[in-house]
Structure 1
Amino acid sequence: MSQRTYNELWADAQLELSRLLTEELPADSNRPQKDRVVFFQRLAMLYVRYLQVFRQLDKVYDQVVHPQKRRVIQAILEGVMGRVLELKNEMVEKEFSEYHYMDDVLHDLKLTPIDLEIPIPCYFINECSKELQEQKMMLTDILKMVEVTESPEPLMAKDMSQEEAIKIIQVGERARQGRLRAKLNEASRNMNRMYRINDPGTVGIELAAVSIQKVWRGYIQRKRAKIARDEEMIFLGMVMDPKYRVPCPAETTAQANEASTRIKQEEYDEDYQKSIVAVTNQLRDVEGHDMSKTMKEQIRQWFVDCRDATGSFPDYPDEEDGGSALIFAEKNPQELKEEIAAKEEEESNNKPKGKEEKKEKRGNDAEEEEAGLKMLPSAFLSDLEIGNKTFVDFWQTRNESKNFNQRHEVELIKEEKRKVIEAEIRVQVDEQMRQELAEWKLAVDKDKGGKTKGNAKKKKASKSGKKKKKEKDLTADRTLESLCQELVEQGLLKKANNVRLQDMLGDYSYLGTTLRQNDIEPMPSLSDVRQVLSLYAIIPLGSQAVHEKAPLIKAILLAGPAGVGKKMLVHAICHETGANLFDLSPLNTAGKYPGKSGLAMMLHMVFKVARLLQPSVIWIEDAEKMFYKKVPKEEKELDPKRLKKDLPKSLKLIKGEDRVLIIGTTKDPISADLKSLCKMYSKIILIPRPDYGSRYILWKQLIKKWGGEVTKALDLSCLAKISDGYTPGDMVRVIQSVVTKRRILQQANRPLTAAEFVAPLAKIDPVFQEEEEALKSWYAKTPLGKKRIRAATGKEEEEAPVKGKDAKKKGKK
C-alpha cells in the first residue's frame, strides 16, 4: 500500500480514538454503577474498541516512513497499549478471573474471534538503541564462545587390529547381500505366479480385455467425479483454490515493498537525526543571543514592576519551581509573590495533618465504594489526549502535496528545538539574574529576609541529602562482559529458543459465555492463555513507556500438566521481546555458589545483569520445589528451598523502570505451600489441556510442520476426538514417531491415516480428569480463585458494605 493509504488509516484510527476519549474523559462519564454486569459490559466494550485502534496503529507505525509522524504515532500507540492493559486489569478486578468471554461484544461490533488477538509490535526487536544492540552482540559472542568450548569432544575409535576390522566389514557385507538375495527371491516368486496360467483361448482374452476396460473406465470416471466435486467445492467457497495456496505475484511484491519500506525508514531516520543536530546548532548560533537578551530585559522589567507594586524586590523563583519560567506566566507581580509564598507554606506543613488528610481520603473512598463501581484513574488518558491534540493541530489538515517522499520537515524541527534552546539559555540567564538581583538588593533594599531564606535552603538541602541507602554493589570492580561470561559458564544465562507466540496453537473458546450463564466456570482455551501472556508479559517487556506507567507485574506463575507448553511460552516471550533468559530453577542452581555469601552473590549478579541487559526474563522451572511443604528424601541433597527467603527480597527491588519479569513454571503446584507461592507470584495462570477445537488445529498444523500431508484419508476429527486428555507435547512425540523420512516418501502411494497415530498414542498416559480437577480445586484456593467463588455465590456483595463501614470508622478515627 502507498503512504497515502497508511495516512488515511492513521486518520481513521485517530477518529475512533477521539470518540473513545470523548466517552471517557468527561467527569460525568465515570459515574458509579451499581450493577456489576452492566459495568463489566462497558469495560469489555471499551477494551475491544481500544484493541482495534491498537491493531490499526501498529500496522500504520510499521509502514509509515515520515520520521516525525512515526514519533507521534509511537507515543499514541504506547498510550493505547497502556490503556488496554489498564482495562484488562480492571476487568480482572471486577470479574475476579484472568479470562473473559466477550461473545456478545463481538456480535454487537460485528467482529470475529481473530480480532481479539493481541498484536505484537515489530519495533520491540527492530528498534533497539545502539547500546542495547552492542550488548546483545556481546552476549551472543559469549554464548557462541562458551558453546564451542563446552562442545563434547569427538568420539575416538578404539584401536583394533586389521583382522578385527576385516571381520566387522565382512559381517556387514554378508548381511547386505543376504537382504538383497531375499528381495530378489521374493520378486522372482511373484513373477512365477503370474506365468503359471494355462494358454487362454479367444474367449479368455476377450474377458481379460473387458475386465481391464472396467477397471480403467472406473478409474477415469472416479477421477472425473473427484475433479468435478473439487470444482464445485471451490465454487461454493468451501475449499481454497490450489493456485491461491502458493503465494501469488501480488503477495510477493507486497512483501518486498514492506521490506523496502523498512529500509527507507532507517535512511529517513538517519537524515532526520543529522538534520536535528544541524538545525539546533544553527538556532543556537543565530537566535541564542537574541533570546538571552530578551529574557534579561523581561526579568529586569519584572524586578522593577514588583518593586513598584510591593515596595521591595521579589525573591527569585527556585530552579525546582521552574526558575524564571514562572515570571512569564500571565500573572501580575503581586499574584506571583503570593503564589510563591503559598508554595513555601505548603512545604512547611506538619506531618500529622498529612495523616489526617489520608484518613479523610480513605473515608471518602469507602463512601464512593458504597455508592457503586467506578473506573480507576488512568495514567495514559492524558497522554492519549495530548497525542490526539497533536494530530488534530499539526497533521490532520497539513498540506503534504510537496512532500511526496515523506521526508522530515525542517520547520517542525525548528519549532521543537526553539523550546529546548530556550530552556537551556533560561538556566544560564537565571544564574546571572540571581546574582544581579542580589546586587540590586544589597545596593537598594538591603533585604533582611535573604539570610532566613538561605538558611531554609540549606535546611532543605540537608533534608533532601538524607536519602535511603543504596544497595551495596558486590561487583563494582567488574565489567558487564565478565559478569555475563561467568553467568553463561555457570549455566544461569541461556540462549532462548527461536519460538514465536503464534506457535502456541489453540482455538477460541466458543462456549465460555454459555457456560458462565449456566453458572459453570469454563476451562480456558490455549488461545485465551496466549492473549493473557501477550498483555501481562510481552507488551510491558517490549515497551519502556508502557512498563513504567501500567500496573506493575513482577512475577507470573504458569501452572499446568506436563507437556502443555509452559517452557515453550517462556522462550516465546523472550523471542518476541528480545529479552535475555536467566535460569534460576532449583535443579539448575543446585551446587552452584554455595553458602549464604555465595547465594547473595549469585542473586546480585543475576539481577544486576538482568537490569543492565533489560528486557530480561528470570525463569524458575519447577517453581513448586522452592516452596515444598515437605522436601522428598531424594531431593534433600539438592536443597530446592535454598532461594525461598532471598528471592522474594530481590523481587521487591524491581521497580517500574526495570523491565525484568520472573516467570515460574510448575506441573505440581499442589505439593507447594500455597500461601508463600501466592505471595511470590502476583499472577497465577492456569494452562489447561487442549479442548477439541485446539486439538483439531494442533494435529493438522503439527503434521504439516513435520512434512506430512493432510488428505481426506486422514480423519482429523476422529483423531482429535480420541486424543482427549493428551497435551501438545504428547502429540508432537506421536507425530515424530509416525511421520518419519521413509513414511514421507511413501505418502504419494499410501496417504497417512488416523489409525497409524492410535498405537503410539495409546502407549502414552493422558492427563486424566482427576488430575485436571485437582488443579482446578487448587486454583480455587488462590486469592483470585476465592474471590471468584465468593462472587459466584453472592457473598462478595454481602461483604462489601461491611468493608465500607470499617473504612468509615477508620476515617473517623
Structure 2
Amino acid sequence: MSQRAYNDLWADAQLELSRLLAEEQPAEQPQPQKDRVVFFQRLAMLYVRYIQILRKLQKAHELIIHPQKRRAIRKVIDSVMGRVVELKNEMVEKEFLEYHYMDDILHDMKLTPDKLEIPLPQYFPNDHSKEVQERKAMLMKIFKMVEATESLEPSTEKEMTQEEAIRVIQVAERARQGRMRSKLYEESREASLRSTNAGTESTELAAICIQKVWRGYIQRKKTKIERVKELIALGMVMDPKYLAPSPAEVALLAAEACTRLKQQEHEAAYQKAVVAVTNQLREMEGNNMSNTLKSQVREWFFKCRNVTGSFPDYPDEEDGGSAFIFAEKSPQQVLEEIAAKEDEASSNKSRGKEEQKEKRKPDKKMIDEQEEAGLKMHPSAFLSDLEAADKTFNDFWSSRDETENFSQKHDVELIKEEKRKVVEDEIRVQVDEQMRQELAELKLSVDKDKGGKTKANTKKKKGSKSGKKKKKEKDLTADRTLESLCQELVEQGLLKQPNDVRLQDFLGDFNYLGTTLRQNDIEPMPSLSDVRQVISLYAILPLGSQVVHEKAPLIKSILLVGPEGAGKKMLVHAVCQETGATLFDLSPLNTAGKYPGKSGLAMMVHVVFKVARLLQPSVIWIGDAEKMFYKKVPKEEKELDPKRLKKDLPKSLKLIKGEDRVLIIGTTEDPMSADIKSMCKMYNKILLIPRPDYGSRYIMWKELINQKGGETTKALDLSSLAKISDGYTPGHMVKAIQSVVTERRIRQQGSRPLTAAEFVAPLARIDPVFQEQEEALKNWYAKTPLGRKRVKAATGKEEEQPPVKGKGAKKKT
C-alpha cells in the first residue's frame, strides 16, 4: 500500500469518529434509559465501534512516515483507547461482570471475532525517548553484572536423594538390557540367514513380490492425491499453494519493512529540525518576545496602581508568573464586575425569602426525577479531546495539499508554530525574574508609606499557602543514586527480567454461544479470549499510555485467580513485555528473610515503590497473594512470616496517583484460605481465569505442538485430544507435549507421525482441575463485591438508585 492509501485509512477512521461523536453528543439531551438490557446494548455497540476505529488508526500510525501526522494520530489513539476503557468500566458497572459476551453484536455488524481483539500499539514497548533508553541500558548492565558475579561463585553440589539414585540406576540397567537384546537379535538373524538356502526361491517369485509392493505403494499414493484434490474442490481443505506466502504477500512485507526504516529516518530528521528551529527562534525572535512581555507587564503594574492605589503583588512561579496575569481580566473589567455584583446584591435582598421558597420546590422535583430516572452514561474525560482532534483534522489535515511533499517529510512551519510557544514560556520565566526585581524597586521608591502593609499582606498570603500544603512522603534514600538502588534490588532478587512472552501467546478461542446461553438462563464461563481483552484494557493500555492512565478510571491493582497452570504468571510477564514495564517481585516467598525488622520492611517497600516510579511503567507482582492475607498461617510457613507486607503494602498503594504508571498484579490459586475482606480492599479488580473450553483446547494443542517442532497430520486426532483433555489447564498441556515431542520423536515423524494416544499417558499422570475445585472458585468469586452485586441483580434485589436523603425521602418506605 502507498502512503496515499494509509492517509485514506486515517481519513476513514476520522470520518467514523466524527459520526460516533455526533451520536454520543446529540443536540438534544437523550432521555434516561430504564431498560438495562437496551442500555447495555448501546454501550456494547459503542465499545465495538470504537475498537474498529482504534484498529484503523493503529494501522495508519504504524505505516505513515510523516512524523507530524504520526504525532497527530497518536493523540487520537490515546483518546480513543481511553474512551474504550471508560465504556468497559461502564459496562462492568451496569452488568456487574468483568467479562461480556457480544457475539450477537458481532453478528449484526457482520464482524468476525478477531475484530474484537484490542489492538496493542507497537510504540508502547519501543519508546525511543532518551531517558527510557538510558534506563533500559542501565538495567541491562546491572543484570549482566549480577549474572557474572553469580556465575563466579562456587556452585554447591546438591545431594542426590534415594529416589533419584534409584531412578539413575534403573535407567542405566534398562539401557544395558536393551543393548544386550539388540545384540542377541542381530546374532540370531545372521545365523538364520546363513542357514537358509538362497537358491530355493526362484527369481520370478522374488520379482512378483517386489512388483506387488511397488504397485500397492504407487496406487495408495495416487488415491491419496485424488482424495486431497477432491477435498480441495469441495472447499474442505486449503490448497497447499495458499499455505505458503504468495509473492505479493512477500512484497508487501518487504515494503512495510522499508516503510518502517523510512519512519526512523524521517523521525531522526524531524528531531534535528526541532533543535535547529528552536535555536533559530531563540536567536531571531527572543529579544522581541522579551521586550513585548516586559511592556505588557509594566502596563499592568500602572493600571493596577491607578485602579487600586498601590502596586500589585507579582504571582509566584507555582501560579504561572506573568501567564497568570494575562489569564485574568483587566483591572477595569474587575471593577465593573464588582459594581454590577453590588447592584444585583442590593436588588436581590428584597426577594431573598421568595427565592428560598422556590428553592425548596426543585428539591421535591429532584426527588421525583431520581425516582423516575433511568440509566445514564457517565461524563467522559476523553470526548473533549476527541472533538478537539477531530476539529484539528477537519480544519488542517483533511484540506492540506501535499502534492509537492511526495517524500512525506516534516513541515518546518508547523515546527515553528509549536516551538514558538515553548520558547515564549522559557523567555517568560526570565522576564518574570527581572520584572519581580523591577516591581520591588517601584514599591520602594513610590509606595514607601504602604510598603509595610504590602509586606504584611504577602507574609499572610505565604503563610496561608504554606498551611494548605500537604506533608510530602519522607525519602529514606535521598542520598542514593538510582543505579545503586536498582543494583541492590537485583541482588536481593526483587527486580527481575520479564520472560519473553507476548499477550498473543496466551492462546484461547472466542465464546460463540455466550448470548445464546444467557437467553436460556445459563451463565456461561468466560473464554481465554475474554481474559486477553480484559488484561489489555485494565493493564496494558493504562500502563502504555500516560494519557489513559491519568484520565481513565484509575486501576491500581489487579488480582488474577485461577487453578494451577492457567497462565496467570504468563500474563504478568506478557504485560511487562507489551508495555516495556519494569518487573518487581514482592511475593511472600521471595521476600522471606530479606530486609528483616520493621525498619527493614519499611525500607524495602520504600525502595521498591521509589524505583518503580522512576522506572515507570512498572509492574509489582505478588505471587501466592493469598499468603499475605492468611486466615491462619500454616505451621510450616510461620518462619517465613508471609503476612509481613499486609499493612505496609496497602499504605503504599494509596500513594499511587494518576501520573504514576505503577500497577500491582497478584496471582493466587487458593483464595479461599485468605481473608476475603482484606484481599478485596487491596485489589481493585479481581479476574477469575477459567480452565480452557473445547475450542481453546483445540487451538492450544495444535499451536503448542507446532511450536515444539511437531507436525499435526491426519494421524493426530486433535478433536479427540481436545475432548479427553477437558479439565486440564494450558500448563498441563505444555508438560504433556514436552514429555512426548522430544528431539528423538521429532526425527521419527517422517516414518511414524504423532498420534493422540501418545499424549494420553502423560496426561493421566497429571491431576486435572476437578469440578469441585472449579465450583469452589466460583463460590468464592460470588462473595467478592462485584460477585455480590451480580447475585443481587440476578435475584432482583439490586437497587437501581441509592436512597435520597432529605425531607422528601423520609416519606418513602
**TM-score under structure 1 length normalisation:** 0.87
The 1:767/1:395 distance shift into structure 2, 3 A limit, reads same
- Provide the C-alpha distance between the structure 2 equivalents of 1:276 and 1:555, rounded to a whole number of angstroms: 39
Which deviations, in whole Å up to 9, do the C-alpha atoms of 1:475-513 show, x marking residues without a partner? Answer: 222221221111111111111111111111100011211
CA RMSD for the aligned pairs?
3.7
Q: 1:491 aligns with which of 490, 493, 500?
A: 493
Q: Partner of 2:124: helix, strand, or coil?
A: helix
User: Which has the larger displacement, 400-409 or 463-472?
Assistant: 463-472
Match of 1:91 in 2: 91
- Provide the C-alpha distance between the structure 2 equivalents of 1:665 and 1:223, rounded to a whole number of angstroms: 53
- Provide the C-alpha distance between the structure 2 equivalents of 1:225 and 1:772, rounded to a whole number of angstroms: 48
* Residue 465 (str. 1) matches residue 463 (str. 2): no
Match of 1:259 in 2: 257
The 1:775/1:327 distance shift into structure 2, 3 A limit, reads closer
Which deviations, in whole Å up to 9, do the C-alpha atoms of 1:183-208 show, x marking residues without a partner? Answer: 52254367579x57994679xx57x7
Shift of 1:81: 0.7
- Provide the C-alpha distance between the structure 1 equivalents of 2:130 and 2:473, rounded to a whole number of angstroms: 28
- Provide the C-alpha distance between the structure 1 equivalents of 2:745 and 2:300, rounded to a whole number of angstroms: 90
Counterpart AA for 1:269 = E
Shift of 1:794: 1.2
**Is residue 97–residue 784 contact of structure 1 (8 Å, CA) maintained in 2?**
yes
Matched ranges for 1:8-47 at <5 A: 8-26=8-26, 28-29=28-29, 31-47=31-47
The 1:172/1:334 distance shift into structure 2, 3 A limit, reads closer
Shift of 1:789: 0.9
Q: Partner of 1:403: helix, strand, or coil?
A: coil
The 1:192/1:100 distance shift into structure 2, 3 A limit, reads farther
Match of 2:396 in 1: 394
**Is residue 484–residue 609 contact of structure 1 (8 Å, CA) maintained in 2?**
yes
- Provide the C-alpha distance between the structure 1 equivalents of 2:720 and 2:21, rounded to a whole number of angstroms: 50
User: Which has the larger displacement, 372-381 or 248-257?
Assistant: 248-257
**Is residue 566–residue 731 contact of structure 2 (8 Å, CA) maintained in 1?**
yes
Task: Count the aligned residue pairs.
Answer: 778
Match of 2:523 in 1: 521
Q: 1:412 aligns with which of 392, 411, 414?
A: 414
- Provide the C-alpha distance between the structure 2 equivalents of 1:104 and 1:618, rounded to a whole number of angstroms: 38
- Provide the C-alpha distance between the structure 2 equivalents of 1:341 and 1:326, rounded to a whole number of angstroms: 23
- Provide the C-alpha distance between the structure 1 equivalents of 2:701 and 2:376, rounded to a whole number of angstroms: 45
Match of 2:610 in 1: 608
Counterpart AA for 1:145 = M
**TM-score under structure 2 length normalisation:** 0.87
Q: 1:750 aligns with which of 744, 749, 752?
A: 752
Matched ranges for 1:575-614 at <5 A: 575-614=577-616
- Provide the C-alpha distance between the structure 2 equivalents of 1:503 and 1:755, rounded to a whole number of angstroms: 26
Counterpart AA for 1:729 = G
- Provide the C-alpha distance between the structure 2 equivalents of 1:132 and 1:53, rounded to a whole number of angstroms: 29
Counterpart AA for 1:387 = A
The 1:145/1:434 distance shift into structure 2, 3 A limit, reads closer
* Residue 275 (str. 1) matches residue 268 (str. 2): no
Mark the runs of 5 or more structure 1 residues left unpaired by the alignment.
159-170, 344-356
- Provide the C-alpha distance between the structure 1 equivalents of 2:444 and 2:67, rounded to a whole number of angstroms: 53
Counterpart AA for 1:740 = T
Match of 1:221 in 2: 219
- Provide the C-alpha distance between the structure 1 equivalents of 2:543 and 2:71, rounded to a whole number of angstroms: 20
Counterpart AA for 1:560 = G
Shift of 1:408: 0.8
Counterpart AA for 1:130 = K
**Is residue 507–residue 529 contact of structure 2 (8 Å, CA) maintained in 1?**
yes
**Is residue 380–residue 549 contact of structure 1 (8 Å, CA) maintained in 2?**
yes
Which deviations, in whole Å up to 9, do the C-alpha atoms of 1:627-673 show, x marking residues without a partner? Answer: 11111111111111111111111111111111111111100111111
Matched ranges for 1:407-806 at <5 A: 407-426=409-428, 455-466=456-467, 467-796=469-798, 799-801=799-801, 803-805=803-805
The 1:481/1:210 distance shift into structure 2, 3 A limit, reads same
Match of 1:231 in 2: 229
Q: Partner of 2:803: helix, strand, or coil?
A: helix
- Provide the C-alpha distance between the structure 2 equivalents of 1:482 and 1:361, rounded to a whole number of angstroms: 61
Match of 1:114 in 2: 114
**Is residue 538–residue 573 contact of structure 1 (8 Å, CA) maintained in 2?**
yes
User: Which has the larger displacement, 450-459 or 679-688?
Assistant: 450-459
The 1:478/1:439 distance shift into structure 2, 3 A limit, reads closer
**Is residue 370–residue 801 contact of structure 1 (8 Å, CA) maintained in 2?**
no
Which deviations, in whole Å up to 9, do the C-alpha atoms of 1:123-168 show, x marking residues without a partner? Answer: 011124212211111111211222222237579999xxxxxxxxxx
Shift of 1:216: 4.0
User: Which has the larger displacement, 180-189 or 219-228?
Assistant: 180-189
Q: Partner of 1:792: helix, strand, or coil?
A: helix
**Is residue 79–residue 384 contact of structure 1 (8 Å, CA) maintained in 2?**
yes
User: Which has the larger displacement, 237-246 or 673-682?
Assistant: 237-246
User: Which has the larger displacement, 271-280 or 642-651?
Assistant: 271-280
Counterpart AA for 1:106 = L
Shift of 1:574: 1.1
**Is residue 366–residue 807 contact of structure 1 (8 Å, CA) maintained in 2?**
no
Matched-pair identity in %: 70
Mark the runs of 5 or more structure 2 residues left unpaired by the alignment.
160-172, 342-358
Shift of 1:568: 1.0
Match of 2:2 in 1: 2
Counterpart AA for 2:260 = R
The 1:587/1:293 distance shift into structure 2, 3 A limit, reads closer
Shift of 1:792: 1.2
Which deviations, in whole Å up to 9, do the C-alpha atoms of 1:60-107 show, x marking residues without a partner? Answer: 111211111111111111111111111111111111000000112112
Shift of 1:762: 1.4
The 1:211/1:488 distance shift into structure 2, 3 A limit, reads same
- Provide the C-alpha distance between the structure 2 equivalents of 1:399 and 1:259, rounded to a whole number of angstroms: 27
Shift of 1:270: 2.2
Q: 1:378 aligns with which of 380, 384, 387?
A: 380
Counterpart AA for 2:465 = S
Shift of 1:180: 6.1
The 1:361/1:51 distance shift into structure 2, 3 A limit, reads farther
The 1:554/1:189 distance shift into structure 2, 3 A limit, reads farther
Match of 1:248 in 2: 246
Which deviations, in whole Å up to 9, do the C-alpha atoms of 1:679-719 show, x marking residues without a partner? Answer: 11110000111100001111111111111111111111111
Which deviations, in whole Å up to 9, do the C-alpha atoms of 1:585-634 show, x marking residues without a partner? Answer: 11111111111111111111111111111111111111111111111111
- Provide the C-alpha distance between the structure 1 equivalents of 2:51 and 2:251, rounded to a whole number of angstroms: 29
Q: Partner of 2:664: helix, strand, or coil?
A: strand
